[in-house]
């Protein structure tokens, strides 16, 4: 299996429309972005981990935790931030084989999730992009417009569509369909494809859904969807933060002091 030179870039900005100041919200004494970045750094198959932010206060927080930061211009879309940061890093590091976007609102990300996505690209060198999903098991989440639901092909895992609406169709009212998956917001690109993806420009379906990865479909290209057995969580609002804080109290990595906590 090919060994890949892989960089994980964690985008974060303070002016989130749904939850301003989100990256620095505290979870058991550490910032949310700190949890995400340090847990990502536990992945031994990654070559490098960098936080990309336009905010000096986020940069200072990550530096205080011993992490690496690239301060970027302000962008509306996280993949523009990822691409800008990657180009700056590649100027000194040289090119990487794979760029992974680990969105900074995932304080429960597990290093094995990164291992899985890197292994998929190592085993399939022609693969241009991929993403992780996990089973969605709660009817409330199925109807939650903050949760991105994902359809993909059984035959090869190719992405069919992403939506904030409940998909596949809830034909039976109040009953969760047999197979429902939610996006984990961990996305891998070959650097050349990331550049092509951004140059293609916004498409109708991505604008309507507010999900830029639908652009891959409209480009006529393939994003491979991988099902992770690991249960994680994302933070979109104060209610999510309270739930994740409660989960963190029993999290094995946090309680084993695998990162942080002095």
pLDDT in tens, 76-108: 888 999 999 999 999 999 999 999 999 999 999
Q: How confident is the model at residue 18 (pLDDT cuts 50, 70, 90)?
A: confident
How high is the pLDDT of residue 260? 84
Question: Average pLDDT in the 174-198 region?
Answer: 93
- Report the pLDDT averaged over residues 241-262: 93
Kindly state the average pLDDT of the residues 163-185. 88
pLDDT at 173 > cutoff 70: no
What is the C-alpha separation between 1 and 122, in angstroms, rounded?
6
Do the beta carbons of residue 74 and residue 54 sit within 8 Å? yes
Q: Which residue bears the tokens 């002091």? A: 257
For residues 112 and 208, give the distance between their C-alpha atoms in angstroms, rounded to a whole number: 33
The whole-number pLDDT of residue 36 equals 98
Which residue blocks in the chain are alpha helix, DSSP H? 32-41, 56-64, 78-93, 111-123, 139-142, 191-200, 204-209, 214-218, 238-248, 252-255
Query: Tokens standing for 108?
Result: 């429960």
Place of tokens 């989960």: 247
- Each residue of 125-156: b (16+ CB within 10 Å) or e? eebbbbbbbbebeeeeebebeebbbbbbeeee
Q: What is the overall mean pLDDT for the chain?
A: 94
Q: Is 114 a residue whose pLDDT tops 80?
A: yes
pLDDT score for 171:
79
116: which 2 tokens?
């899985």
SS3 227: strand
What is the Cα–Cα distance from 55 to 60, expressed in whole angstroms? 9
Q: Give the Cβ contact number of residue 210 at 10 Å.
A: 12
Mean pLDDT of 131-146: 93
> Is residue 148 within 8 Å of 136, Cβ to Cβ?
no
Q: What is the pLDDT of residue 146?
A: 87
Distance CA 163, CA 27 (A): 29
Contact in structure between 20 and 241 (CB atoms under 8 Å): no
- Residues 217-239 have pLDDT tens digits of 999 999 999 999 998 999 989 99
Backbone angles phi, psi at 99, to 5 degrees: -115, 125
Q: Quick check: helix, strand or coil at residue 210?
A: coil
Of 171 and 202, more confident: 202
Query: Which pLDDT tens digit goes with each residue over 49-74?
Result: 999 999 999 999 999 999 999 999 99
């Amino acid at each position: 299996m090919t060994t890949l030179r892989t960089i994980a870039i964690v985008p974060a900005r303070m002016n989130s429309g749904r939850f301003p100041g989100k990256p620095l919200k505290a979870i058991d004494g550490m910032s949310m972005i700190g949890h995400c970045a340090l847990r990502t750094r536990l992945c031994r198959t990654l070559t490098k981990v960098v936080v990309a932010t336009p905010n000096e206060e986020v940069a200072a927080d990550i530096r205080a935790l011993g992490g690496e930061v690239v301060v970027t211009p302000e962008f509306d879309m996280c993949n523009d931030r990822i691409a800008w940061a990657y180009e700056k890093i590649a100027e000194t590091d040289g090119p990487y084989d794979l760029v992974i976007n680990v969105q900074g609102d995932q304080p429960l990300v597990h290093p094995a999730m990164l291992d899985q996505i890197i292994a998929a690209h190592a085993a399939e060198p022609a693969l241009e992009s991929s993403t992780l999903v996990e089973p969605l098991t709660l009817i409330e989440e199925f109807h939650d417009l903050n949760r991105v639901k994902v359809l993909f092909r059984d035959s090869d895992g190719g992405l069919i569509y992403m939506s904030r609406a409940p998909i596949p169709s809830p034909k039976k009212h109040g009953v969760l369909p047999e197979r429902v998956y939610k996006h984990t917001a961990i996305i891998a690109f070959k650097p050349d494809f990331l550049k092509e993806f951004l140059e293609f420009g916004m498409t109708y379906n991505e604008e309507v859904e507010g999900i830029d990865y639908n652009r891959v479909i409209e480009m006529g290209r393939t994003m491979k969807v991988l099902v992770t057995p690991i249960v994680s969580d994302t933070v979109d609002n104060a209610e999510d933060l309270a739930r994740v804080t409660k989960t963190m109290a029993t999290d094995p990595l946090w309680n084993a002091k695998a990162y942080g906590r002095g």
